[in-house]
């Protein structure tokens, strides 16, 4: 029997077969064709390698000539369900240790290929011509791993939990190599079985989907069809639409163990503490340990954890009376992040953080106290699945910090604990529970307990209902301490409906969470109409959206009302032009300082804002979003100009990313300008080595600072970081040095994986 017998694809009854000339032909033997079904998810068979596999991107091993490729990709965008206009041929191969996913990406116009990003996991990578694979290793049609690469070897990996936003900060050990050919490019991915988790049996059935993006055409195609209503961002994470992968044999049940020690040395100058530090030396060691309790249950231990390699936060302008949300960036908390999502809300990083629903668990509350960094002495985490139940347990202990000046208090050692359990029900739904505990809370004596039940119910392709009931108990704090929500979301391609009811009682206070406002009853409704006109040249989609946001306190006093109307035009080249009008009412019960020396008094205020924006497609050498806002602001006026997600391609290895906003505010109490400016520069030597720097200015904090990082993955999973950071006071106060702090750190990690 030939190797072609090992590539088998199922044909659903009543479906038309694709012509063998389209590259989808295989055989059980000479003259026996096997075809791919194009309606309904197909089934493909993994092929065992018959010799050594070289990960060089050349596809010159004998097995590629012996078996026919997987082909017949279908479009998600722009013409849903139609054959892809650029041919893709793929292979799924395995040996005793590794999965290999390879592809030949044919191009009708190779000169127009978009390949200008080599950094790992960046959003810009997704704006390139890429090839990606999704593995649903438990075949539960909910969770999976995504591996992506472009034609110059830039790569990205992510975890998907319950078809939610992908955790792009998850990293594992794998390889990719690409090569240019006459009519396109070829790619080979090598993913060790040790790098992923799967069911406890030697013979496996997984879910799989393959994606090809041709960015200059703005075309996205898949092995198994994905609805375009999900948008190109969410298409690959539609695990329930994936094909089936059979015939796979995985290593027998040896347990994974990984040891990753680190060593760090640095110098610090800090003029904001008492006594001042000048070139204070630091030497530190620590380690992370990963142990596979079972094939699908993993324990992690971290000792003397350090996050010196993490890039600084991007500065933001805050003209509201509520706290800003800054995403998590620390590796220990980012891994398996989706396990700790509660009521559809990720614990950090996976959501914009602009909504009003509180986070019962927000990992940035660990290790940061009143803006001061506290050391993480030790931490442990257990995550994975037992049958249809997803489990997560996290425990971290932080050290103490003495007061650095008279205005600060001592920070006591604190223990943080999070327990999470979630059970799959129906086809794509789940119910769960979470408990959080903190032994000491800032500014108070005593502990804080959080607890809640939640459910996420998904029906058909586009209907979802999220709900939760949560409570908190804080020593010394009395009163109503519950929060609950019911959210209905229909998200079709042409129509969308969202209805939300959210209640946060006055004393609901999750001390390991994030909450924007309390004492609130929110009623929200939104309607969307998104036609795809065929008679408008260069236009892909029109979107008209209207929403009502009505907030009272728990005694039914109106505090906030927003009426919003939005109209967007999406062009075929992925540019988007938009205009939004907002009519607002906001009641202030207590005054708040919007700028230094400018206080807005209590009272009810009505104001409106017009927002106009244009977003240029990020596949271009020059891209970004330019926005202008104008309108009334409380009892004054506001105008602002902002640039976001901007990128200038200098070369495929070098880029600049300018951004920021300038806000002109004129109030009876005084006029001021709030400005945040930043520029990031990146030079990538190889996909494993890059240098990036960011310079930022914030007028509100009278601060200008820089952060420069070298990252080199000198061995798979082992890294060297060199990081320089500084911060200067721009106010020029007499008798004070403008330098606030400065640090230089060198950190090296080494992964040992028996």
Domain ranges of the chain: 46-249, 322-398+411-518, 573-653+665-670
Tokens of 92: 């799924």
Q: Quick one: which H or E segment has residue 231?
A: helix 231-234
Architecture of domain 46-249: Sandwich (2.60)
Section 680-706 average pLDDT: 93
Contacts of 331 (CB under 8 A, 6+ apart): 169, 171, 307
Q: Which 8-state DSSP code applies to residue 401?
A: B
Residue closest to 435 by CA, chosen among 333, 338, 358, 360: 360
| Per-residue pLDDT at 405 | 58
Q: Is the pLDDT of residue 658 over 60?
A: yes
At residue 592's C-alpha, the angle toward residues 349 and 525, to 5°, is 55
Global pTM? Answer: 0.84
* Pair 392, 414: CB distance under 8 Å: no
> 724-731 — which CB contacts under 8 Å span 24+ positions?
725/312, 727/703, 728/703, 728/704, 729/702, 729/703, 730/697, 730/702, 730/703, 730/704, 731/702
| Per-residue pLDDT at 34 | 29
pLDDT confidence tier of residue 618, bands split at 50, 70 and 90: confident
The CB density around residue 73, as the number of other CB atoms within 10 Å, is 27
Alpha-carbon dihedral sign for residues 350, 356, 360, 364: positive
39/550 Cα distance (integer angstroms): 44
Per residue in 443-468, pLDDT (tens digit) is 666 789 999 999 999 888 889 999 99
Section 630-657 average pLDDT: 93
Q: Is the pLDDT of residue 26 over 50?
A: no
Section 172-183 average pLDDT: 94
* Pair 128, 687: CB distance under 8 Å: no
* Pair 420, 391: CB distance under 8 Å: yes
709/309 Cα distance (integer angstroms): 7
Q: Which has the minimum average pLDDT: 111-125, 145-159, 433-447, 613-627? A: 433-447
Alpha-carbon dihedral sign for residues 611, 614, 619, 620: negative
Q: Is the pLDDT of residue 277 over 50?
A: yes
16/443 Cα distance (integer angstroms): 69
The whole-chain average pLDDT of the chain stands at: 86
The CB density around residue 203, as the number of other CB atoms within 10 Å, is 10
Section 348-366 average pLDDT: 68
Residue closest to 10 by CA, chosen among 32, 51, 40: 40
Q: Is the pLDDT of residue 643 over 50?
A: yes
395/713 Cα distance (integer angstroms): 29
Q: Give CA separation, 535 vs 492, 532, 563, 570, 577, in Å.
A: 22, 9, 31, 14, 18
| Half-sphere CA count of 458, side-chain side, radius 13 A | 18
Which residues pair with residue 246 across a beta bridge?
45
Residue 195's φ and ψ, nearest 5 degrees, are: -85, -10
629/640 Cα distance (integer angstroms): 5
443/437 Cα distance (integer angstroms): 16
Residue with tokens 């050391």: 375
Instruction: Report the Cα–Cα distance between both ends of the chain, in Å, rounded.
Output: 37
Q: Give CA separation, 703 vs 94, 565, 676, in Å.
A: 53, 36, 10
pLDDT confidence tier of residue 320, bands split at 50, 70 and 90: confident
| Per-residue pLDDT at 624 | 93
Q: Is the pLDDT of residue 247 over 80?
A: yes
137/172 Cα distance (integer angstroms): 15
666/680 Cα distance (integer angstroms): 31
* Burial (Cβ within 10 Å: 0-12, 13-18, ≥19) of residue 635: middle
| Per-residue pLDDT at 297 | 85
Section 727-750 average pLDDT: 87
Q: Is the pLDDT of residue 80 over 60?
A: yes
> In terms of DSSP bridges, do strands 88-94 and 47-48 run parallel, antiparallel, or are they unpaired?
parallel
Q: Is the pLDDT of residue 707 over 90?
A: yes
H helix and E strand count, the chain: 4, 43
Section 141-161 average pLDDT: 93
* Pair 42, 85: CB distance under 8 Å: no
Section 415-427 average pLDDT: 94
232/164 Cα distance (integer angstroms): 14
């Amino acid at each position: 029997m030939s190797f072609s017998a090992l590539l088998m694809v199922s044909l659903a009854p009543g479906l038309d077969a694709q012509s063998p000339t389209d590259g989808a032909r295989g055989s059980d033997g000479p003259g026996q064709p096997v075809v791919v079904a194009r309606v309904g998810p197909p089934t493909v068979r993994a092929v065992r390698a018959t010799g050594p596999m070289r990960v060089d991107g050349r596809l010159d091993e004998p097995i590629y000539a012996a078996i026919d490729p997987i082909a017949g990709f279908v479009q998600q965008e722009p013409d849903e369900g139609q054959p892809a206009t650029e041919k893709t041929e793929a292979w799924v191969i395995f040996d005793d240790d590794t999965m290999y996913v390879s592809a030949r990406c044919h191009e009708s116009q190779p000169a127009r290929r978009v390949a200008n990003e080599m950094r790992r996991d960046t959003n810009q990578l997704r704006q390139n011509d890429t090839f990606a694979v999704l593995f649903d290793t438990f075949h539960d049609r909910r969770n999976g791993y995504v591996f992506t690469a472009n034609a110059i070897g830039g790569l990205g990996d992510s975890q998907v939990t319950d078809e939610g936003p992908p955790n792009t900060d998850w990293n594992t050990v794998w390889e990719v190599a690409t090569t240019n050919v006459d009519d396109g490019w070829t790619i080979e991915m090598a993913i060790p079985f040790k790098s992923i988790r799967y069911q406890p049996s030697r013979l496996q059935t997984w879910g799989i989907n393959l994606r090809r993006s041709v960015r200059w055409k703005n075309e996205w195609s898949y092995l198994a069809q994905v609805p375009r209503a999900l948008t190109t961002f969410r298409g690959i994470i539609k695990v329930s639409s994936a094909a089936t992968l059979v015939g796979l044999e995985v290593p027998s049940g040896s347990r994974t163990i990984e040891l990753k020690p680190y060593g760090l040395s640095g110098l610090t100058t800090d003029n904001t503490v008492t006594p001042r530090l000048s070139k204070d030396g630091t030497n530190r060691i620590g380690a992370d340990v990963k142990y596979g309790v079972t094939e699908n249950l993993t324990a992690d231990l971290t000792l003397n954890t350090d996050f010196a390699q993490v890039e600084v936060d991007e500065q933001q302008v805050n003209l509201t009376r509520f706290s800003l949300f800054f995403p998590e960036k620390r590796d220990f908390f980012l891994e398996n992040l989706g396990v700790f999502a509660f009521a559809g809300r990720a614990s950090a990083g996976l959501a914009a953080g602009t909504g009003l629903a509180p986070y019962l668990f927000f990992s940035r509350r660990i290790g940061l106290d009143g803006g001061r960094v506290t050391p993480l002495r030790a931490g442990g985490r257990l995550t994975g699945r037992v049958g249809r139940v997803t489990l997560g347990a996290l425990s971290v202990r932080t050290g103490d910090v003495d007061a650095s000046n008279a205005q600060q208090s001592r920070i006591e050692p604190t223990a943080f604990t999070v327990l999470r359990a979630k059970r799959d029900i129906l086809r794509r739904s789940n119910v769960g529970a979470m408990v959080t505990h903190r032994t000491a809370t800032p500014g108070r004596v005593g502990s804080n307990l959080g607890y809640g039940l939640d459910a996420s119910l998904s029906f058909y392709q586009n209907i979802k209902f999220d709900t939760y009931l949560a409570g908190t108990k804080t020593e010394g704090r009395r009163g109503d301490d519950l929060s609950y929500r019911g959210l209905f979301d229909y998200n079709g391609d042409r129509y969308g409906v969202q209805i939300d009811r959210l209640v946060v009682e006055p004393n609901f206070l999750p001390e390991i969470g994030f909450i924007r406002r309390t004492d609130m009853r929110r009623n929200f409704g939104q309607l969307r109409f998104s036609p795809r006109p065929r008679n408008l040249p260069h236009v892909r989609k029109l979107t008209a959206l209207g929403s009502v946001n009505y907030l009272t306190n728990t005694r039914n006093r109106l505090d906030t009302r927003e009426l919003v109307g939005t109209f967007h035009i999406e062009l075929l080249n992925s540019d988007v032009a938009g205009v939004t009008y907002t009519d607002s009412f906001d009641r202030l019960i207590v005054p708040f300082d919007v700028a230094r020396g400018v206080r807005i008094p209590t009272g009810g205020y009505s104001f409106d804002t017009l927002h106009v924006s244009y977003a240029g497609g990020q596949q271009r050498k020059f891209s970004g979003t330019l926005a202008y806002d104008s309108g009334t602001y409380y009892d004054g006026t506001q105008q602002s100009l902002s640039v976001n997600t901007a990128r200038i391609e200098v070369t495929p290895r070098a880029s600049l990313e300018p951004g920021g906003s300038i806000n002109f505010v004129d109030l009876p109490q005084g006029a001021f300008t709030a400005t945040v400016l930043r520029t990031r520069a990146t030079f990538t030597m190889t996909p494993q080595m890059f240098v990036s720097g960011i310079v930022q200015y914030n007028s509100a904090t009278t601060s200008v600072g820089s952060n420069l990082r070298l990252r080199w993955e000198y061995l798979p999973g082992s890294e060297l970081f060199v990081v320089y950071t500084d911060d200067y006071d721009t106010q020029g106060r007499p008798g004070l040095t403008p330098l606030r702090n400065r640090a230089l750190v060198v950190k090296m990690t080494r992964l040992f994986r028996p």
